[in-house]
Amino acid sequence: MIYSSELLKGTLKTIVLKLLADNKKMYGYEITQRVKELTLDKIQITEGALYPTLHSLEADGLVTTETEFIGKRVRKYYSLSPTGKTKTKEKVSELADFMETMKFLLDIKPKTA
Amino acid sequence: MYQLNDQQIDYIFNDISARGVEMESLQLNLHDHVCCIIEQNLEENGDFESFYQKTIQTFYKDALWEIEEETLQLLTNKNYYKMKKIMIYSGTLSVAGFIAGSIFKIMHWPGASAILLLSMLNISLIFLPLLFILKTREVSAMKDKLMIAIGTIFGILFSISSLFKIFHWPGANLMWLSALGILMFVFIPIYFFSGIRTPETKVNTIITSIILISAGGMLFTLTSLKPSTKFYIGKTYNYLQGEELITRMHSIKNDTTNQNPEMINLSKEIIENCNKIKELIIIDGTGIKSIPKDFETKDIILQESGLGKEFDLGASGMELIQKLKKQINLYNTLVNRNKQLPIDNSIERMEKMELIRLSNYNLLNSLTDIQLFILQNEKGLTLN
């Protein structure tokens, strides 16, 4: 099952920030591949969603970029800024809290073995 | 694993910009991304061209530039909140400035004009343009955008013309009338006829239109309530006649029988002082030092108004008046009773608060009277 883009929309920033927190610096393609890997293909970030989000994070000062030349190509690496690091913690705990609330709201019983 | 050659890399880059992506950083991102996908997924002897086309199509629904649009949307939304904040701050600041400036102006405290000027500039150059940008974004119909544009132009013209009026800059009346004209004949009709068509806004539109029309009408009335220029032409002639009388009196020979040099000197000083004060008043009203005889053809008309900022406490005009008061008192101690300058003229009573109630013509006439009284004494035209 692949989750709908609507579901992903509100969490994409958090996902990207958390990945950057765990991996120091990443480029766009790497981010999409890593998410795919980690979620066993359940979450596939589209280019159309990823890059606007990265640009907006950059404009917010949460991430910084550095460019690297690979032959004729230019690769932009993204990494967290100091404010980005604190923001990531906030965002992750906010999302965790949100998921708890959703569980309660939608009355989802945790699967117990 | 496929190895892209330089030509293919250039091809991809050119294709991305040809598809309408203009932001450089986004171009670079997408370029690297496509290259990675191709290198990872295309077999070594695969068909580059068709694989590339297939890949790039997975990036979007209708066109590649959607990504750029989405990016810009996200970036400008951030500005949206910033702009909204600035708008609210500048609006609050102008309102506070208007209130403070008005109080300062009434009390004749220094700085009133500066506060009013800043508030007026703030509202017309920061608040209203921001309001326009933010409001146009909320509506989609061209008609609504046009209405907001006209409303903004009216607002800016209105506040700038008020500013011009306060500072007696030329062109104020024209601007004021065109602002009102835009309101009455362009804005209200468009607003009325576009709002009345939809049932849910019908009642609101009618009520708001009535309020707007009556407000506009009142402003029109205020404009025409001011005395006509003819009235001021008459007053200006009166003033010039007084000046002419003074000039003619000067040409009469002095009475040399009982004049001491101290008196002659003091008389001269008072007359000069009066002329200086008159000059300040006329500069404030017309921008030039004296009114020429052909003022009517040159369209230099002194309108009746309050005394300018030169007569605020501590300003040069006020200092000249205080000096004049001392001179008059000294003069009256030196001459016979029947030659004394009338105590009850407005100069003598001029304290700060008295000055506020005087118009420029009041003061000009009082000064002319003093000059004439002195000349009368000097020429021996007063009965001993």
Q: Indicate whether B81 and B25 sit together in one domain.
A: no
B173: nearest Cα among B160, B159, B189, B161? B161
When pLDDT is cut at 50, 70 and 90, the band that residue B362 belongs to is confident
Tell me how crowded residue B84 is: count the other CB atoms within 10 A of its CB: 13
Residue bearing the bigger pLDDT, B195 or A54? A54
Task: Count up the domains in chain B and report the number.
Answer: 3
pLDDT of residue B294: 85
CATH annotation of A5-105: 1.10.10.10
Q: Give A25's strand partners.
A: A79
pLDDT, residue A112, reads 60
Residue type, position B86, single letter:
I
Whether B63 has its CB under 8 Å from any CB of chain A: the answer is no
**pLDDT: is B292 or B351 the higher one?**
B292
B384 Cβ neighbours under 8 A, 6+ residues apart: B336, B338
In this prediction, residue B352 has a pLDDT band, given cuts at 50, 70 and 90, of: low
Distance between A58 CA and the closest CA of chain B, angstroms: 10
Q: Where are the domains of chain A?
A: 5-105
Q: Are B193 and B249 within one domain?
A: no
Per-range mean pLDDT, top range of B147-156, B247-256, B284-293:
B147-156
Determine the pLDDT at residue B383. 67
User: With an 8 Å Cβ cutoff, is A66 touching chain B?
Assistant: no
Where is the domain boundary, B203, B225, B247?
B225
Asked whether residue B71 is domain-assigned, the answer is no
The mean per-residue pLDDT over the stretch B360-376 comes to 88
Last residue of a domain, one of B205, B225, B245: B225
Grade residue B355 by pLDDT with cuts at 50, 70 and 90: low
AA identity, residue B1 = M
Residues of A in contact with B32 (CB under 8 A): 27-29, 70, 73-76
Structure tokens at B40: 């990872």
For residues B226 and B242, what is the distance between their CA atoms, to the nearest angstrom? 25
Structural domain for B256, as ranges? 229-378
Please state, in angstroms and rounded to a whole number, the distance separating the CA atoms of residues B209 and B220: 16
- Measured in whole angstroms, the distance separating CA B322 from the mean position of its chain's CA atoms is 33
Q: Are residues B336 and B251 in the same domain?
A: yes
Query: Do B251 and B219 reside in the same domain of the chain?
Result: no
pLDDT cut 70: percent of chain A above it: 96
CA angle B246–B248–B250, rounded 5-degree value: 70
Choose among B37, B68, B26: nearest CA to A76.
B26
pLDDT mean over A64-81: 92
Chain A positions in Cβ-Cβ contact with residue B16 (cut-off 8 Å): none
Give me the pLDDT at residue B1, please. Answer: 79
Among B82, B95, B122, B301, residue whose Cα is nearest residue A60: B82
pLDDT cut 70: percent of chain B above it: 93
Assign B306 to helix, strand or coil: strand
Using one digit for the tens of pLDDT, what is the confidence trace for B91-130? 999 999 999 999 988 887 888 888 988 998 899 889 999 9
Residue A81 belongs to what H/E stretch?
A: none
Q: How far is CA B88 from the centre of its chain?
A: 20
User: In this predicted structure, which of A104-108, B1-5, B220-224 has the lowest mean pLDDT?
Assistant: B220-224
Contact call for A56 and B29, based on CB within 8 A: no
Average pLDDT, rounded, for chain A: 90
Structure confidence at residue B61 (pLDDT)? 87
CA distance B317 to B202: 57
Average model confidence (pLDDT) across chain B: 85
H helices within chain B, ranges in order?
6-18, 24-41, 48-57, 65-107, 112-122, 128-138, 142-166, 172-181, 188-195, 202-225, 229-250, 261-286, 295-298, 316-334, 352-357, 360-378
Q: How many angstroms separate the CA of residue A84 from the nearest CA in chain B? A: 17
* pLDDT of B353 higher than 60: no
Rounded mean pLDDT of B48-76?
Answer: 88
Residue A44 near chain B (CB below 8 Å): no
The pLDDT > 90 percentage for chain B reads 21
Q: Of the candidates A52, A72, A73, which has its C-beta nearest B67's C-beta?
A: A52
A55:B66 CB<8 A:
no
Same structural domain, B203 and B327: no
- pLDDT tens column, B278-290: 998 888 888 888 8
Q: How many CB pairs under 8 A join A and B?
A: 69
Record: contact B32-A76, CB cut-off 8 A: yes
Using a CB-CB distance cutoff of 8 angstroms, which residues of chain A are in contact with residue B39? none
Q: Is the pLDDT of residue B225 over 60?
A: no
Inter-chain residue contact A51 with B71, CB threshold 8 Å: yes
Domain co-membership, B44 together with B112: no
> What would the pLDDT profile of A1-49 be if each residue is shown by its tens digit?
678 878 888 899 999 999 999 998 999 999 999 999 999 988 889 898 9
Q: Is B75 on the interface with A (CB under 8 A)?
A: yes
Q: Which residue has the higher pLDDT, A13 or B45?
A: A13
Q: Which amino acid is at B249?
A: M
User: In terms of pLDDT, which residue wins out, B129 or B165?
Assistant: B129
Q: Does the distance separating the beta carbons of B71 and A56 come in below 8 Å?
A: yes
Regarding whether B280 and B161 lie in a shared domain, the answer is no
- B186 and B146 housed in the same domain: yes
Tell whether B276 is covered by a domain: yes
Smallest CA–CA distance from A74 into chain B, residue? B28
B182 Cβ contact partners less than 8 Å away, ≥ 6 residues apart: B150, B153, B154, B157
Domain-embedded: residue B87: yes
